[in-house]
């Protein structure tokens, strides 16, 4: 008798809780638009209080957004990572957003991303601070600076490919991460280290990256907590390196010396503040950001490049012929940037990889004031995420969005349409290292087709696209030099 009464009370309590949650969502949580704007909010669901639809996003990954788009169209609402959010797709919509930077929207990342990269990171800065930092870092990616990188990039790429060829089998995605991390760490941060140190740094950086989109609460065992612990280890590893660079710059104050890497340029731009602990922490934030930008998205694109060239032997054959025609043989040394940019079909191949599988799926913004988009209100204070991958795939400028076809880039108008093809973002805050990433991809593609043959060890590999595209099982592959048979 007592047990039945207890069960009844539990059921009644559960029903009351569910009813309260429903009322909260129905009349408050899902109706937090701008009351002064007569336009309706975009369609969509808000999920549970605080959690929103974060769990569904983590479970379904890219399919979460695909299902939402099929159901609601190119503009819809949701709640992810404890923030009311509008998701926007389509070149015309994206153009409105990116052309309104600092007017209608401003840069914004989830709280977890902000904490893990730190306030000193370029993508976390705004206004004059962002413009000043960006101008400094841009010098590290000027054509003149890029020309000094190509020979070192080729050296690192060739060394990696030689290692892959002597192994029975390699997992392409982890190897691409290690390759791009080694390139970025050496050329952008100026940090040269042994294999064990490189492995430890890469492991900590990946822990940070794996948790940049997590609930904004640091609870032991949860994502943000793990990421913050890894970030502290990265800071400790970078501290001595940065202080050594500072001492070198102070000793050479007033003397002309060549800038070696992007971090050197930042140090020399603000050298008078060099002994400020806050400034040193900002340099650590910048170094971690550059290591991330120099490896994570580039590694994703590099893995996609290897897979797509394997799956398209005619494109691979055509690329090889054009490279040989331009004198890019297996023993050729790249001495300047012109050698990389003169191969037209190489540019087409890289464009097509970045169109079909852009390394970044989208980017976050914060709405500064309510505005209209597609007949809906985009409320002030909400988060906004614009899609890169879905926008590129539905662009009318490409005949078949799912087919790998480098030839479509011959006189394609997308070259002059910045919001139909924008794999590294667009507007004032496009990825500052996009040209660096493209050079890395071009050198990798050229070295691959002129020096190696490769065969996938897995039939029909499965790919995930959240937060960046990657093969679920790492893409096991066998590489051999061209003199050997696979």
pLDDT (tens digit, 9 = 90+) per residue, 349-360? Answer: 999 999 999 998
d(CA 453, CA 486): 7
| For range 204-216, the mean pLDDT | 89
pLDDT 10s digits, 177-209: 999 999 989 988 988 888 899 999 999 999 998
Q: Is 29 helix (H, G, I), strand (E, B) or coil?
A: helix
Residue 139: enclosing H or E segment and its boundaries? none
Q: Are 267 and 283 in contact (CB under 8 A)?
A: yes
Q: Is 12 helix (H, G, I), strand (E, B) or coil?
A: helix
Instruction: For the beta carbon of residue 437, count every other beta carbon within 10 angstroms.
Output: 25
Judge whether residue 254 has pLDDT over 60.
Answer: no
| For range 456-465, the mean pLDDT | 91
At 29, the pLDDT band (50, 70, 90 cuts) reads: very low
d(CA 25, CA 464): 31
- Looking at the chain, which residues constitute the CATH 1.10.630.10 domain(s)? 32-125+361-429, 146-188+294-358+431-486
CATH architecture for the domain at 146-188+294-358+431-486: Orthogonal Bundle (1.10)
Judge whether residue 75 has pLDDT over 70.
Answer: yes
pLDDT 10s digits, 111-120: 888 899 988 8
Residue 435: enclosing H or E segment and its boundaries? helix 434-451
Across the chain, mean pLDDT equals 86
| Cβ partners under 8 Å of residue 198, min gap 6 | 178, 181, 182, 185
Q: Are 388 and 90 in contact (CB under 8 A)?
A: no
pLDDT at 270: 67
| For range 366-373, the mean pLDDT | 96
Residue 349: enclosing H or E segment and its boundaries? helix 344-356
d(CA 308, CA 306): 6
Q: Are 106 and 368 in contact (CB under 8 A)?
A: yes
d(CA 456, CA 121): 38
Token pair of 437 as six digits: 């990433």
The answer to whether domain 32-125+361-429 has CATH 1.10.630.10 is yes
d(CA 387, CA 260): 35
Token pair of 304 as six digits: 């996609």
Judge whether residue 21 has pLDDT over 80.
Answer: no
Q: Any known ligand binding at 431?
A: yes
pLDDT at 295: 76
pLDDT at 59: 87
pLDDT at 1: 46
pLDDT at 165: 96
Q: How far apart, in Å, are the Cα atoms of 41 and each of 106, 241, 353?
A: 20, 50, 36
Q: What is the pTM of this model?
A: 0.85
pLDDT 10s digits, 284-336: 998 998 888 767 789 999 999 999 999 999 999 999 999 999 989 888 888 88
Q: Is 123 helix (H, G, I), strand (E, B) or coil?
A: helix
**Omega of the bond leading into 210 within 30 degrees of 0 (cis):** no
């Amino acid at each position: 008798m007592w047990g039945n009464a207890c069960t009844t009370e539990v059921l009644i309590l559960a029903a009351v809780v569910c009813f309260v949650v429903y009322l909260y969502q129905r009349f408050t949580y899902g109706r937090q638009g701008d009351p002064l704007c007569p336009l309706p909010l975009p369609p969509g669901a808000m999920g549970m209080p605080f959690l929103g639809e974060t769990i569904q996003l983590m479970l379904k990954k890219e399919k979460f957004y695909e299902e939402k788009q099929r159901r609601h169209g190119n503009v819809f609402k949701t709640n992810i990572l404890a923030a009311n959010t509008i998701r926007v797709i389509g070149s015309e919509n994206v153009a409105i957003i990116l052309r309104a930077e600092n007017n209608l929207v401003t840069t914004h990342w989830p709280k977890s991303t902000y904490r893990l990269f730190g306030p000193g990171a370029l993508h976390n800065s705004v206004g004059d601070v962002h413009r000043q930092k960006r101008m400094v870092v841009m010098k590290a990616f000027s054509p003149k600076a890029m020309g000094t990188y190509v020979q070192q990039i080729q050296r690192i790429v060739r060394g990696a490919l030689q290692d892959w060829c002597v192994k029975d089998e390699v997992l392409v995605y982890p190897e691409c991460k290690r390759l791009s991390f080694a390139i970025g760490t050496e050329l952008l941060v100026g940090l040269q280290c042994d294999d064990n140190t490189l492995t430890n740094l890469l492991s900590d950086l990946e822990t940070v990256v794996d948790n940049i989109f997590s609930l904004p609460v640091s609870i032991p065992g949860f994502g943000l907590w793990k990421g913050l612990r890894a970030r502290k280890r990265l800071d400790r590893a970078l501290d001595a390196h940065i202080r050594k660079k500072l001492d070198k710059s102070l000793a050479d104050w007033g003397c002309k010396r060549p800038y070696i890497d992007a971090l050197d340029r930042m140090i020399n731009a603000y050298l008078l503040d060099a002994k400020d602990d806050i400034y040193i922490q900002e340099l650590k934030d910048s170094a971690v950001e550059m290591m991330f930008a120099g490896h994570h998205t580039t590694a994703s694109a590099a893995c996609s490049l290897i897979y797509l060239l394997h799956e398209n032997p005619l494109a691979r054959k055509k690329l090889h012929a054009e490279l040989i025609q331009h004198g890019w043989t297996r023993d050729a040394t790249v001495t300047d940037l012109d050698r990389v940019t003169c191969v037209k079909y190489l540019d087409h191949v890289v464009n097509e990889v970045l169109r079909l599988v852009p390394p970044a799926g989208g980017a976050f913004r914060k709405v500064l004031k309510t505005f209209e988009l597609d007949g809906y209100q985009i409320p002030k204070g909400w988060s906004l995420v614009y899609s890169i991958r879905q926008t590129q795939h539905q662009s009318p400028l490409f005949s078949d969005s799912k087919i790998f076809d480098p030839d479509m880039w011959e006189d394609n108008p997308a070259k002059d349409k910045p919001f139909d093809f924008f794999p590294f973002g667009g507007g004032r805050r496009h990825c500052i290292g996009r040209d660096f990433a493209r050079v890395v991809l071009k050198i990798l593609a050229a070295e691959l087709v002129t020096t190696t043959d490769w065969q996938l060890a897995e039939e029909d590999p499965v790919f995930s696209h959240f937060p960046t595209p990657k093969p679920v099982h790492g893409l096991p592959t066998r590489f051999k030099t061209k003199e050997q048979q696979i």
